[in-house]
Structure 1
């Protein structure tokens, strides 16, 4: 597969998380300010992330090799296993929590898992890889497989930690007591919708959503049974506003919203998000010792795309990365002005903007106050 085909395959099979839906209660007095990583009520010792290319920090690159520059150009100044010009939202969250960037679970070189691990991989879905609507075109490392990887990781890392005689080995492994205090994040679902949009009618895609939500819920429950207590569950972004879909699957007459996004695709994302939010609410009642936070990235990203100039961006339905020839890519002159990097994935600047505003969308679906669940605080709540 040539470079352009491979990039297109990855781009068309990667992204996650679902839609705008306002939950029943916003925690006005307990939602913390996460903009100050050094000041915290109590410390989150680790992050375990599950998802797709929106939060893949090196899994795909470890298996297939990293994409060349200009990927990684803005921050790392070299390819860094991320489908962006720089850092992802998960990187900024790690920074805000005072933690190092997450090592990909499948990466065997230079990894350090003391403060968590990343099981996300580009092209991952919630559904099994052989599901009808996926047509075996997406990554087989689905969310149930990522759960299995975590369970194996936990068993082996815990055994090795207890058996290790060297502090050098122990310092690269999670402390067994930290699993219960860690933050578990989920950023997955958009590839499932992507597959549906490109293979069947949107009404048919909707019939698959309950099964997707059930599968994701099952993974969260199993993690809870294993001792996990703190969860962030991202919904999916406005897929109808991605340049890839606007260009390659353009809206039919009457199917474009006021800013030019494909309205029916966004409505599909919103339906996924509504069902996801309802399920998170139910889990909050069922898992009594949990802190589940529903994170509405859809509303953030749509707000950013619909008012780009207000937030310092330009060309909201355009992309920074362009093809000059079959295997030659060229980035725009200033990625900091662009929201979208390659038609599917966001730029570092947009990822940072989203991370900086996440707290505005937190909805706590459990009885445990966020400030008692080790979220960073800066001394004042909104």
Structure 2
């Protein structure tokens, strides 16, 4: 990140939604700043190595997209007070876990038929927040799950047509596109149902896919290279884990240059990739309506 990028980042954050100084995030591990570590198990080293210097509850080597959206990544873990509901920006990053679970448990037709219910459940949550006084929503769609390096790891039968020309699994990306299509349509109906809400739909899929397709141009290496973990000869030791193999204790260590990697652990993005994505969505280039986050609290 260059000096100009830092200046743009500081400018956006200083004017974020004017008086709306609080951000509350709902999402999966792509935007989790510590809930999983608090409720289940702590993220191990070398998570957090590039920024915090130690594990900090984030599934990355450093900061997440939400950290680059928020002013202070370490002060966003408190629950909102009632009077803050209408003065806060609520961010959402959902879908990846729903699809990943669906790929394991359902056929593609079954998963496709389940998408409307998933989207409606999400819309119901938005509506409940609105009824409690929430007004500003910044909603990410789901990313190109078929491009996550871990998704291809266990495909032993690599039949023709399984992957597209960029190395992503066609069918999984197609399902993500369908999910996003239905999510965007539902958000459009919510705009009519929730007349005082400011709903911004952010096309994270396109931003991430653009980075993956053009990783080398933007100074990254192979976007399917996994920085953290041991993945050789069909032996997989995940980031921060240990496994005894043929009498040898193998540790899922980090690579020497996470700043050049798009993927941190095969499922989650590196801090450098998160930073690149944040820089490209904050100005509204991937948003509907096409407004910067500094205007996301304004009803249009």
* TM-score interval for Structure 1 and Structure 2 normalised by the shorter chain: 0.7 to 0.9
Cα contact 2:48–2:61 (8 A) shared by 1: yes
Q: Find the counterpart in structure 1 of residue 285 from structure 2.
A: 360
Cα contact 1:35–1:356 (8 A) shared by 2: no
Cα contact 1:280–1:365 (8 A) shared by 2: no
5+ residue gaps in structure 1?
A: 1-32, 105-112, 118-153, 155-173, 376-382
After the TM superposition, which residues 131-280 of structure 1 pair with which residues of structure 2 at under 5 Å, given as runs? Answer: 174=81, 176-249=82-155, 251-280=158-187
Distance 2:52 2:295 in 1: 33
Distance 1:372 1:265 in 2: 30
Higher mean C-alpha deviation, range 65-74 or range 279-288: 65-74
Deviations 1:30-60 (A, max 9, x none): xxx7662224561322111111111111111
Higher mean C-alpha deviation, range 39-48 or range 234-243: 39-48
Q: Secondary structure at the match of 2:252?
A: strand
Q: Find the counterpart in structure 1 of residue 197 from structure 2.
A: 290
Q: Identify if the C-alpha distance between structure 1 residues 79 and 291 changes in structure 2 by more than 3 Å, giving closer, same or farther.
A: same
Over aligned residues, Cα RMSD in angstroms?
Answer: 2.3
Cα contact 1:73–1:86 (8 A) shared by 2: yes
Distance 1:51 1:259 in 2: 27
User: Are residue 83 (structure 1) and residue 54 (structure 2) matched?
Assistant: no
Q: Secondary structure at the match of 1:310?
A: coil
User: Are residue 67 (structure 1) and residue 43 (structure 2) matched?
Assistant: yes
After the TM superposition, which residues 94-113 of structure 1 pair with which residues of structure 2 at under 5 Å, given as runs? Answer: 94-95=70-71, 99-104=72-77, 113=78
Distance 1:35 1:213 in 2: 34
User: Are residue 345 (structure 1) and residue 252 (structure 2) matched?
Assistant: no
Q: Secondary structure at the match of 2:14?
A: coil
**Which of the pair has the greater relative contact order for Cα pairs under 8 Å at 6+ separation?**
1
User: Are residue 38 (structure 1) and residue 11 (structure 2) matched?
Assistant: no
Q: How far is 1:252 from its partner?
A: 2.8
Distance 1:34 1:86 in 2: 17
Q: Identify if the C-alpha distance between structure 1 residues 232 and 240 changes in structure 2 by more than 3 Å, giving closer, same or farther.
A: same
Q: Secondary structure at the match of 1:330?
A: coil
User: Are residue 305 (structure 1) and residue 215 (structure 2) matched?
Assistant: no
Cα contact 1:91–1:102 (8 A) shared by 2: no
Higher mean C-alpha deviation, range 36-45 or range 199-208: 36-45
Distance 1:44 1:85 in 2: 29
Distance 1:64 1:40 in 2: 33
Q: Identify if the C-alpha distance between structure 1 residues 40 and 206 changes in structure 2 by more than 3 Å, giving closer, same or farther.
A: closer
Deviations 1:195-241 (A, max 9, x none): 11112221211010000000000000111111000001110000000
Q: Secondary structure at the match of 2:91?
A: strand
Q: 1:371 aligns with which of 270, 275, 295?
A: 295
Q: Identify if the C-alpha distance between structure 1 residues 230 and 343 changes in structure 2 by more than 3 Å, giving closer, same or farther.
A: same
TM norm structure 2? 0.84
Q: Give the number of aligned pairs.
A: 271
Distance 2:76 2:215 in 1: 32
Distance 2:42 2:276 in 1: 25
TM norm structure 1? 0.66
Distance 1:76 1:352 in 2: 15
Distance 2:110 2:215 in 1: 33
Cα contact 1:236–1:269 (8 A) shared by 2: yes
Cα contact 2:95–2:142 (8 A) shared by 1: yes
Distance 2:97 2:200 in 1: 22
